[in-house]
Structure 1
Amino acid sequence: MKATIEVVCYKSKVLANNESPLMLRITKDRKLKYSSIGISVNPAHWDFEKNKPRRNCPDKARIEQIISEQIRKYREQILDFQAEDKEFTSTSLYDRVNNQIKRRTVSDLFKSHIANLKAQKRTGYALTFSELYNSLILFHGHLDIHFSDIDVTWLRHYEAWLRFRGSAENTIGKRFRTLRAVFNLAIEQGIVKAEYYPFKIYKVSKLHQTPAKRAISKEDIMKVINYQCTDPYDRLAVDLFTFGYFMGGINFGDMASLKSENIVDGRLVYIRRKSNHLFFKRDPAVGENFAAILKRTDIEKGVYN
């Protein structure tokens, strides 16, 4: 049976101001579900045959706008159910729409995602989202908005604001790539519909500037590796540089977290904190090199011999 959505004046209930509440009535399979839309009218100003405010009703245009918006949300959800080939009742329809109305804000998702990353000990990645969150707060004043509010115009204003503050091109690109990741997460969690995705039009790829290559020669690298010193802290710096170089540029944060258990059959095996991906190096000398560092280091006592 087809569902019907309409707003009725609930005249059997009279409020203190002598008005009656307007109720959304959902009818499906001969079962009714009522929900207040938060406004009331004097029954004398309501046309009960046509279920709409009379011409002399105060604030008629505003009331009609609210009614139209309420009915539109339910009709859209009915179309979604039909597209998904899902059966629904008047109650399940109400519950689905009600959850959408109370969907999480941009601020809510940022805070929960940052907390999850910190719980996973992905502190560097969490910092990236925290920096974006703080930047957006400075730009907009607050993030108690919905993701559907972030459209192409909003993004362009944010880009212009960043440029006005003198942000570098790659910094702007990083901000927008992170914001795009948050928006994708919101779609994945059902917080916002994919149709509101603004990055189909606003291209983040344009916000990239290839930095000048910064590298030292192989000769200079070997000078560091072969540097002779007696100071234990200088020796530690050389050892860590050498280890990082031969391990393909391992992140220092990951290096600092390594233990002897990370050496498996002469290979370095570890999970990168930033991406949570498994990495390993096949260099047969890795076990020997790392063991040498550990032998000279007593981390618990802060001693390096």
Structure 2
Amino acid sequence: MKATIEVVCYKSKVLANNESPLMLRITKDRKLKYSSIGISVNPAHWDFEKNKPRRNCPDKARIEQIISEQIRKYREQILDFQAEDKEFTSTSLYDRVNNQIKRRTVSDLFKSHIANLKAQKRTGYALTFSELYNSLILLHGHLDIHFSDIDVTWLRHYEAWLRFKGSAENTIGKRFRTLRAVFNLAIEQGIVKAEYYPFKIYKVSKLHQTPAKRAISKEDIMKVINYQCTDPYDRLAVDLFTFGYFMGGINFGDMASLKSENIVDGRLVYIRRKTHKLIRLPLQPKALEIIERYHTNGALFLFPILSDFHKTEQQQRNRLHKVLSNVNKRLKRIGKELEIPIDLTTYVSRHSYATVLKRSGVSTSIISESLGHSSEKVTQYYLDSFENNQIDEAMKNLL
């Protein structure tokens, strides 16, 4: 139902000067909202059929001007709602015109979004937004600005500053993709109009850099899996790499959180922390052998990474960071010893799992599901370097 805006004389209320207040009346979906426009007239000077002052009304021109301005503001806001394809009520229309809903600043949205992500236990994703927020604070000193202030010039200034600071291309790309996500969230929440969206002109895609190769061949994978070591920490590093490879490229944080209840009817069943997707994979013999090597009765987790000592989320994050750094340090040394062409990390295990499956003819959609990715687009990012190599090799056969 269309909204109607009109000014009426509220004759049922008589003021001390024997005049009645003029009220702006909003009608939407059969619901009425009244608001005083701050002036009053004698009912004898008001035309109740046409809802306007009579010719003999004192100060008629000024009253008509005020009425016209009030109605104009509301009609413009209705057009804005329609342009945004946004439903509204008589109350929300009134609130928007009269700024009853405080315009949220860039800082406001950042803080609330980060808090929401932390409440959802998406601490890694929250960290991405926190890093961007801190970076912008370092440049500007504050973010008590509105999203409409973020234009192409503002973005170019931020990019120039990041380059001056020596930030890597991938870091700059990550910062701007995150900033774009925040701006999209602001549009979604009605904080800023879509017409202010600066990323139609400022293209974040130009900041994309081809990712460094993170996958190794099956032959090199087997070198790592069969690596002979006596040091227990080297053994743990190799075993975690191996477990990740055989069990769907499981992320290190998810691996560290595995418990006995995650093994159900010969399958590894867990919810990926980053995307909240349910993963159910057949437990491979080699992976089961590794679990049996480390798990002890009474232990809270399958692997000796976390323990019941690490109770708070921050304690767990600190422990994961410490162990992962040590594991990757040992994997890199082992990789150099085995003459692996790239630095070896637990992430290489995940990428290699995806690449080996792709080379075996497995569809991207199935690989995406097993990795627990949010979309096939993310999986394709994993496989891009492999696909390019395939094309390069194939084109050698043209002659």
- Provide the TM-score with structure 1 as the length reference: 0.64
From 350, 356, 364, the equivalent of 1:293 is 356
SS at match of 1:99: coil
Query: How far did residue 39 of structure 1 move?
Result: 16
- Which structure 1 segments of 5+ residues have no match? 277-287
- 1:84 and 1:222, CA in 2 relative to 1: closer, same or farther beyond 3 A? closer
- 1:210 and 1:84, CA in 2 relative to 1: closer, same or farther beyond 3 A? closer
- 1:106 and 1:242, CA in 2 relative to 1: closer, same or farther beyond 3 A? same
Question: Counterparts of 1:64 and 1:262 in 2: how far apart (Å)?
Answer: 73
SS at match of 1:22: strand
Query: How far did residue 141 of structure 1 move?
Result: 1.6
Question: Counterparts of 1:45 and 1:161 in 2: how far apart (Å)?
Answer: 64
Query: How far did residue 220 of structure 1 move?
Result: 3.8
**Residues 1-58 of structure 1: per-residue CA shift (max 9 Å, x gap):** 9999999999999999999999999999999999899999999999999999999999
- Preserved CA contact (<8 Å) 2:14 2:20: yes
- Preserved CA contact (<8 Å) 1:260 1:291: no
Query: How far did residue 85 of structure 1 move?
Result: 9.7
- 1:169 and 1:231, CA in 2 relative to 1: closer, same or farther beyond 3 A? closer
- Provide the TM-score with structure 2 as the length reference: 0.50
Query: How far did residue 178 of structure 1 move?
Result: 0.5
- Preserved CA contact (<8 Å) 1:236 1:304: no
**Residues 229-275 of structure 1: per-residue CA shift (max 9 Å, x gap):** 34433332222111012224321111111122223333323222222
- Preserved CA contact (<8 Å) 1:232 1:304: no
Name the stretch that deviates more: 73-82 or 4-13: 4-13
Name the stretch that deviates more: 175-184 or 226-235: 226-235
- Which structure 2 segments of 5+ residues have no match? 277-350, 360-388
Query: How far did residue 133 of structure 1 move?
Result: 0.4
Query: How far did residue 298 of structure 1 move?
Result: 44
- Preserved CA contact (<8 Å) 2:215 2:355: no
SS at match of 2:35: strand
Query: How far did residue 199 of structure 1 move?
Result: 1.1
Query: How far did residue 191 of structure 1 move?
Result: 1.5
Query: How far did residue 180 of structure 1 move?
Result: 0.7
- Preserved CA contact (<8 Å) 2:105 2:145: yes
Name the stretch that deviates more: 231-240 or 68-77: 68-77
Query: How far did residue 165 of structure 1 move?
Result: 1.3
Q: Which has the higher strand share?
A: 1
The alignment of Structure 1 onto Structure 2 pairs a total of residues equal to 294
Name the stretch that deviates more: 92-101 or 16-25: 16-25
Name the stretch that deviates more: 53-62 or 136-145: 53-62
Name the stretch that deviates more: 55-64 or 84-93: 55-64
Equivalent position of 2:48 in the other structure: 48
Name the stretch that deviates more: 31-40 or 142-151: 31-40
- 1:200 and 1:105, CA in 2 relative to 1: closer, same or farther beyond 3 A? same
- 1:213 and 1:298, CA in 2 relative to 1: closer, same or farther beyond 3 A? closer
- 1:291 and 1:41, CA in 2 relative to 1: closer, same or farther beyond 3 A? closer
- 1:265 and 1:88, CA in 2 relative to 1: closer, same or farther beyond 3 A? closer
Percentage identity across aligned positions? 95
- Preserved CA contact (<8 Å) 1:147 1:192: yes
SS at match of 2:26: strand
Name the stretch that deviates more: 101-110 or 19-28: 19-28
**Residues 55-111 of structure 1: per-residue CA shift (max 9 Å, x gap):** 999999999999999987544213235668999887653213234761211111111
Question: Counterparts of 1:140 and 1:28 in 2: how far apart (Å)?
Answer: 43
Question: Counterparts of 2:176 and 2:390 in 1: how far apart (Å)?
Answer: 43
SS at match of 1:224: helix
- Preserved CA contact (<8 Å) 2:104 2:191: yes
- Preserved CA contact (<8 Å) 1:8 1:25: yes
Question: Counterparts of 2:115 and 2:163 in 1: how far apart (Å)?
Answer: 29
**Residues 161-190 of structure 1: per-residue CA shift (max 9 Å, x gap):** 111111111111100000111111111222
Query: How far did residue 138 of structure 1 move?
Result: 1.3
- Preserved CA contact (<8 Å) 1:243 1:290: no
